[in-house]
Amino acid sequence: MTTIDLDQQLVELRSAADAYAARHQFIPDLTWPEGVRIAVNFTCDFDAMLLRRLLNEPPMQLAKGEFGGRVGIWRLIELFDAHGVKATIFTPGRICELYPEALRAVVESGHEIADHMWEHRVPKEPGLEEDHLAKTVTALERIAGRRPVGTRSSHSAALLRQYGFIYRSERSADQRPYYEYDEGGGNGLLNLPMHYVIDDAMYFNFNWLGTDASAQRITDPERVGDIWWAAFRQQYSVGGYLNVCMHPFQSGRALRIAMLDRLIGKMKTLPGVWFPTCEQVARHCIDHHPPRAGTL
């Protein structure tokens, strides 16, 4: 291999890294509304048994997910309401047909309903992808009385923009909210970063993401509460942001509701902790830290 070949590799790799970096616009000087030191988004991925069904898992697995719709979501609404927390419920469109009563209670309490795909997948076929997104927007609008503006999905940015979405909450290239653009540099969306460290499924769910028995390290809520509190304290100290991702079929279990109750209670002992919906955070960022001209 000659030096020329090696230099060519450097050019190619650097260009790949640069192009990826250029699709991200961070907000290093992020500020919050007067008096706010940290924004904490409590978010629920309300897929209940849908992902289990999509993967053709057996009946007991469906029942495990069903707990989220029959029990968990109700307890989480009660918990958020008791603390004055406005949460965001990322909801697959199909859940509107499975648990409409619970979703109406979510809306009644002033929480945000956002997109979490039609049946917890993004079809590869562009026509079907749009069909699924359109169905979800219609279903969520019917329940919430307004169209969703946020998503937790890998739907294409162009399609999301076309349907009026302003934010996504998926990845974590930065701990603060940031903008993401597509390959062409357009179709900007604000991303509200969520990290697996602050995701209940990583600690409590058996067989998450298809992992086998030997990969399981299920743990207890006290340990998880400690990890999340440490993450909160660090972001609090830098005036940052925290997105807590929960699944009602896991966090809705009584022992975890009790842990969340203690965690939120502790957060509230500090001044300047803001518990808005994801949409409120997104609108604040877009208004005060706008994206590149004309991109959103």
Partner 1 sequence: MPWKQGYTISDERSLTDSELRWPDGAGCCVAMTVDLSVASGPEGITAADLTTPEALFGANQGLAALREVLRRHAMRATFAVPAVIAHTHRDLVRSLTDEGHEIAAHGFRHEDVSGLERDEERQRIARTTEILADVTGGKPAGWFSLPRQGDRYAVGAVSPNTVDLLLEAGYLYLGNGLADDIPHYWVSDFASRRTLLTLPYYYHFDDQFFLMFPRKGTGLEHPDALLRNWRGEFAAQYRRGRYFHMTLHPQHIGWSNRLQMLDEFLAELRGYPSLWNPTAAECARYWLEAYPASAHLRLAPTIWQDYPGSLS
Please report, as ranges, the residues that interact with partner 1 according to CB under 8 A.
Answer: 49-50, 53-54, 57-64, 66-67, 69-71, 74, 94, 97-102, 118-119, 123, 128, 131-132, 135, 204, 206-207, 212-214, 216-223, 253-259
CB of 109 to partner 1, least distance (A): 16
119 vs 180, beta carbon nearer partner 1: 119
Q: How far apart are CA 181 and CA 291, in angstroms?
A: 10
58 vs 84, beta carbon nearer partner 1: 58
**CA 86 to chain CA mean position, Å:** 14
38 vs 224, beta carbon nearer partner 1: 224
Contact 256/220 with Cβ under 8 angstroms?
A: no
Contact 88/41 with Cβ under 8 angstroms?
A: yes
CB of 136 to partner 1, least distance (A): 11
Q: How far apart are CA 94 and CA 138, in angstroms?
A: 11
69 vs 240, beta carbon nearer partner 1: 69
CB of 175 to partner 1, least distance (A): 28
174 vs 261, beta carbon nearer partner 1: 261
Q: Is residue 277 packed enough to be buried (19+ CB in 10 Å), middle (13-18) or exposed (0-12)? A: buried
List the beta strands (DSSP E) in 83-163: 88-91, 112-115, 150-151
* SS3 call for 22: helix
| Contacts with 123 (C-beta within 8 Å, 6 or more apart), sequence order | 129, 131, 132
Q: Which tokens sit at 228?
A: 């999340």
Backbone dihedral region of 42: left (phi > 0), alpha (psi from -120 to 50 degrees) or beta?
A: beta
CB of 55 to partner 1, least distance (A): 11
CB of 218 to partner 1, least distance (A): 6
129 vs 180, beta carbon nearer partner 1: 129
